[in-house]
């Protein structure tokens, strides 16, 4: 597998010379027994909006974190002014080990691997059934990213008032993915949000989708009024106007525990970082069939043992077809 560098925007911290000379670092490093635990809600130009208890605190990364970047969803330890008052800036001194990491490579020419969200346990892939037309390859690429990251996928098919979901659901049936179908009138009555919420309760769910699919409409229906994207609390805190679409944004679910993480509309989902041996874990029924695969098998090669194993009747051929379809989306094509 090719290796990729880290995105300097996220991870790099330019070390300035120590103005006080060569004083050993240990002497100037503060003690952090008094650090408070928080969660990163959004990141905007090096400023991290964090929730500490009930207070929204603006913070920056402490120099001692070095190159390590905190991203949305990270559990972090914060010191300094935790009052949440205007013009205060606390410091993040530690990032907890992540339970999961959702990443993408922006595209094949982009050497940087971007961590989008930490600690999510679910990936909601939002697709409109029309306007814009569904793009199954993009859905597949999102699913591969979810499987690679160990997130459970949830398909959310919007705008069923404009087109039927049948064809798409036929395509995804062999994958056994959970799905919700929503339409405009149910958005207005709140039924759509109620139905989607059932899948989100108690979990941290990252929402991805192509621009225009209705992701913001749905997310806004799921979170409290004062957290809605364009008028949200985060903007009031950062004072930077309308939330720009460069970072994900964590929002509390309304009427249930859980977090909705809205991500900027995506055009593509680079998969350079994906490891086929992790993707196949999402197909536990096929895993035993890989026993006789050659070392490092990509499971889409001529000598992959899965063909013979499935032909012997150990698993449904449509499952292998689906796995292969997903794996093939790692190769970028025109329009991805």
Q: Is 211 annotated as a binding residue?
A: yes
Distances in Å between the Cα of 167 and the Cα atoms of 129, 134, 142, 279, 335 are: 10, 11, 19, 24, 21
Which residue in the block uniquely carries the two structure tokens 């098919």? 157
Which of 147, 52, 148, 138 is CA-nearest to residue 91? 52
> What is the token pair recorded at 272?
């350079």
CB 102 within 8 A of CB 115: yes
Stretch that binds ligand GTP, among 77-85, 158-166, 233-241, 308-316 (CB under 6 A): 158-166
Q: Is 53 annotated as a binding residue?
A: no
> How near is the Cβ of 290 to Zn ion at its closest, in Å?
5
The C-alpha atoms of residue 323 and residue 315 are separated, in whole angstroms, by: 12
> What is the token pair recorded at 116?
């989008």
Distances in Å between the Cα of 305 and the Cα atoms of 221, 266, 292, 310, 316 are: 47, 35, 6, 9, 15
299 binds Zn ion (CB under 5 A): yes
Q: Is 314 annotated as a binding residue?
A: no
287 binds Zn ion (CB under 5 A): no
293 binds Zn ion (CB under 5 A): yes
- For ligand GTP, the closer of residues 100 and 216 by Cβ is 216
Which of 216, 263, 268, 329 is in the footprint of ligand GTP by CB under 6 A?
Answer: 216
268 binds ligand GTP (CB under 6 A): no
Which of 43, 304, 310, 315 is in the footprint of Zn ion by CB under 5 A?
Answer: 304
Choose the one of ligand GTP, Zn ion, none that binds residue 114, judging by a C-beta under 5 to 8 angstroms depending on kind.
none
> How near is the Cβ of 25 to ligand GTP at its closest, in Å?
43
The C-alpha atoms of residue 190 and residue 157 are separated, in whole angstroms, by: 16
Residues 6+ apart with CB under 8 A from 185: 161
162 binds ligand GTP (CB under 6 A): yes
Which of 36, 63, 96, 217 is in the footprint of ligand GTP by CB under 6 A?
Answer: 217
- Binding residue numbers: 158-161, 209-217, 293, 297, 299, 304
- Residues that bind Zn ion in the complex, under the rule CB under 5 A: 293, 297, 299, 304
- Binding residue numbers for Zn(2+): 293, 297, 299, 304
């Amino acid at each position: 597998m090719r290796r990729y560098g880290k995105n300097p925007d996220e991870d790099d911290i330019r070390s300035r010379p120590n103005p006080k000379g060569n004083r050993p670092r240990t002497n100037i490093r503060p003690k952090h027994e008094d650090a408070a635990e928080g969660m990163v809600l959004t990141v905007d130009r090096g400023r991290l909006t964090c929730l500490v208890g009930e207070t929204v605190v603006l913070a920056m990364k402490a120099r001692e974190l070095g190159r390590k970047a905190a991203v949305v969803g990270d559990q972090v330890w914060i010191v300094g002014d935790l009052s949440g008052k205007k013009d205060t800036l606390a410091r993040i001194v530690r990032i907890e080990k992540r339970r999961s990491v959702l990443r993408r490579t922006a595209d094949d020419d982009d050497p940087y691997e971007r961590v989008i969200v930490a600690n999510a346990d679910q990936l909601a892939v939002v697709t409109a059934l029309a306007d814009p037309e569904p793009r199954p390859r993009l859905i597949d690429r999102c699913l591969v990213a979810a499987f690679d990251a160990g997130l459970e996928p949830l398909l959310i098919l919007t705008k069923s008032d404009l087109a039927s979901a049948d064809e798409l659901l036929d395509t995804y049936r062999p994958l056994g993915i959970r799905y919700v179908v929503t339409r405009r009138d149910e958005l207005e009555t709140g039924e759509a949000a109620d139905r989607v919420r059932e899948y989100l309760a108690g979990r941290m769910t990252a929402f991805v989708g192509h621009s225009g699919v209705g992701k913001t409409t749905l997310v806004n229906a799921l979170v409290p009024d004062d957290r809605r994207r364009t008028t949200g609390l985060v903007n009031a805190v950062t004072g930077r106007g309308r939330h720009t679409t460069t970072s994900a944004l964590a929002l509390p679910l309304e009427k249930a525990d859980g977090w909705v993480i809205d991500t900027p509309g995506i055009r593509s989902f680079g998969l350079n970082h994906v490891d086929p041996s992790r993707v196949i874990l999402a197909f536990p029924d096929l895993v035993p069939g890989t026993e006789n695969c050659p070392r490092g098998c990509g499971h889409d090669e001529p000598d992959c043992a899965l063909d013979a194993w499935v032909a012997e009747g150990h698993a449904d051929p449509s499952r292998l077809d689906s796995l292969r379809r997903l794996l093939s989306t790692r190769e970028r094509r025109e329009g991805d």
